């Protein structure tokens, strides 16, 4: 009898043990698969951060005077971190900062520009790409009883420097301030077949009052708006941040020395030449001033125009910088257009500054003010690019409807009774598509 009971208990124990095997297997499956997906997500984030860091570092190198070539940047088949090329070092550093390094049970490799870059983003022009691959061996827990000791987790991400065309003809880029685009009084702002971009996260990033009118193809606001008057169409709020559409455009390099110092134009008829204008340039004459084609480096004094003179210039760029360029945190002079005459200026149609009419030093102290004022008729054909400044339109300025003007600034203010007309710069004055860093794989 006792032996029979022992056998029954033994059979029951064996049954329980046999039943526990699939239970443990199920627990092991849930645990190990969950760990796999957690690791995969973390590795994906690290690979994407590393790839973007590599191509953004490449863009910085090009902006500093390099080029998208293997002589200037790292180009290689997949190789383990750390890397010798500066821009690829950034990939390894970002992967490490996110918890993955080329050691132990982890492997981090970087590949860059060894095949046709455009194969990574068909249909667009790719200047440079970098791929970060990460593999980690996850030790098995409960599933180890079924054989095997680890589970391999592998991911890869590719980022590229892709040429894109700016899609705004008015863009304000301050990321946090209130009212980075304002329209007060009775200004009439027309954006012909193009859009307004307002990049601030503020709940009142775009603000209009009085009878101000804004007309555009679309009005896109990262934060919120407070609008009255005639704003057409209604702003689209809470859009994704878009940043500087001309980030990849290299700044002019005026070098040292002065071609002209404290230049004050008062003659009845004057033709000016490109060069370094130390102390800036002031125009107060009541006759004709002609700018010959080229780049005018306004070093430390900006540009001031008063009087009733007629100003003309074809193929010109005004680079507003400091007496020692670049500014590196100091203030540049202001661009102030207060005259009552006519202004007809157009940007270059070829070369590195194609389509750029005004270029404010990106390293200047934030908070400068550039003013287009008075009762003048102006035709500014090109892009007005002031990353660190407020651009104010005021008075009774009346642009011609044929003007191709794009405005990109830190903040933008329209007031008075001005009529402001913008449209995407087209034809030979169009700004070439600019590089931006994107994840493409």
The pLDDT tens digits for 102-147 are 988 899 999 998 876 666 665 567 888 999 999 988 877 655 555 5
Cβ-proximal residues to 175 (8 Å cutoff; 6+ apart), any chain: 199, 200, 201, 222, 241
Rounded to 5 degrees, what are φ and ψ at 123?
Answer: 95, -10
More confident site: 300 or 428? 300
- Rounded CA-CA distance 95/408 in Å is 34
- Report whether pLDDT(314) > 80: yes
- Report whether pLDDT(149) > 80: no
Cβ-proximal residues to 41 (8 Å cutoff; 6+ apart), any chain: none
Q: Are 196 and 219 in contact (CB under 8 A)?
A: yes
pLDDT at position 328 = 93
First to last CA, the chain: 72
More confident site: 140 or 373? 373
Cross-strand bridge partners of residue 416: 185
Strands (E), 315-397: 316-321, 335-337, 342-346, 356-360, 368-372, 377-393
- Report whether pLDDT(249) > 90: no
Q: Picking from 27-31, 71-75, 147-151, 168-172, which range would have the lowest pLDDT averaged per residue?
A: 27-31
pLDDT at position 139 = 79
Which residue from 117, 119, 135, 128 is spatially nearest to 46, judged by alpha carbons?
Answer: 135
- Residue 226, helix vs strand vs coil: strand
Q: 225 is written with which tokens? A: 């708006």
Radius of gyration of the chain (CA): 30
Other CB atoms within a 10 A radius of the CB of residue 244 amount to: 17
Sorted by where each begins, the domain ranges of the chain are 2-164, 168-433
Q: 333 is written with which tokens? A: 């002079």
- Report whether pLDDT(321) > 90: yes
pLDDT at position 199 = 93
Confidence class of residue 229 from pLDDT cuts 50, 70 and 90? confident
DSSP state of 191: E
- Rounded CA-CA distance 62/214 in Å is 37
Q: 76 is written with which tokens? A: 């290689």
In Å, what is the CA distance from 419 to each residue of 55, 183, 204, 207, 409? 41, 11, 23, 18, 19
285-288 contact pairs (CB < 8 A, 24+): 285/309, 286/341, 288/312
- Report whether pLDDT(15) > 50: no
Strands (E), 166-212: 168-172, 181-185, 188-192, 195-198, 206-208
- Report whether pLDDT(16) > 50: no
pTM of the model: 0.71
In Å, what is the CA distance from 413 to each residue of 25, 207, 244, 302, 407? 67, 10, 18, 20, 11
Q: Picking from 142-156, 240-254, 273-287, 303-317, which range would have the lowest pLDDT averaged per residue?
A: 142-156
């Amino acid at each position: 009898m006792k032996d029979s009971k022992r056998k029954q208990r033994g059979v029951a124990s064996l049954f329980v043990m046999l039943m526990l095997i699939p239970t443990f297997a199920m627990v092991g499956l849930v645990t190990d698969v969950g760990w796999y997906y957690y690791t995969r997500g973390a590795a994906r984030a690290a690979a994407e951060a590393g790839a973007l860091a590599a191509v953004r570092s490449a863009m910085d190198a090009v902006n500093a005077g390099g080029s998208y070539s293997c002589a200037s940047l790292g180009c290689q088949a997949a190789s383990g971190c750390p890397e010798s090329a500066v821009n690829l070092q950034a990939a390894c550093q970002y992967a490490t900062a996110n918890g993955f390094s080329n050691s132990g049970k982890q492997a981090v490799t970087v590949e860059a520009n060894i095949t046709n870059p455009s194969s990574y983003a068909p249909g667009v022009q790719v200047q440079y790409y970098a791929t970060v691959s990460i593999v980690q061996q996850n030790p098995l827990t409960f599933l180890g009883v079924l054989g095997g000791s680890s589970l391999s987790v592998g991911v890869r991400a590719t980022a590229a420097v892709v040429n894109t065309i700016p899609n705004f003809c008015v863009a304000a880029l301050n990321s946090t301030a209130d009212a980075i685009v304002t329209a007060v009084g009775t200004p009439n702002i027309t954006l012909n077949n193009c859009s307004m971009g307002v990049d601030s996260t503020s709940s009142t990033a775009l603000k209009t009052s009085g009878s101000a009118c804004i007309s555009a193809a679309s009005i896109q606001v990262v934060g919120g708006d407070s609008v009255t008057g005639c704003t057409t169409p209604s702003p689209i709020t809470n859009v994704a941040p878009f940043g500087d559409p001309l980030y990849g455009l290299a700044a002019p390099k005026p070098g040292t020395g002065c071609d002209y110092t404290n230049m004050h134009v008062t003659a009845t008829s004057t033709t000016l030449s490109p060069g370094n204008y130390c102390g800036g340039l002031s125009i107060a004459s009541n006759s004709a001033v002609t700018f010959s084609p080229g780049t005018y480096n306004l070093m430390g004094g900006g540009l001031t125009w008063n009087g009733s003179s007629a100003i003309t210039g074809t193929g010109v760029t005004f680079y507003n910088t400091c007496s020692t360029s670049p500014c590196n945190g100091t203030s540049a002079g202001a661009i102030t257009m207060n005259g009552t005459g006519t202004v007809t200026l157009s940007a270059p149609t070829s070369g590195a500054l194609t389509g750029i009419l005004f270029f404010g030093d990106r390293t200047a102290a934030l908070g400068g003010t550039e003013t287009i004022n008075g009762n003048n008729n102006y035709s500014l054909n090109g892009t007005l690019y002031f990353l660190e400044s407020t651009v104010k339109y005021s008075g009774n300025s009346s642009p011609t409807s044929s003007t191709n003007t794009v405005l990109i600034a830190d903040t933008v203010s329209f007031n008075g009774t001005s009529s402001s007309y913008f449209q995407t710069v087209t034809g030979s004055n169009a700004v070439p598509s600019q590089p931006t860093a994107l994840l493409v794989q």
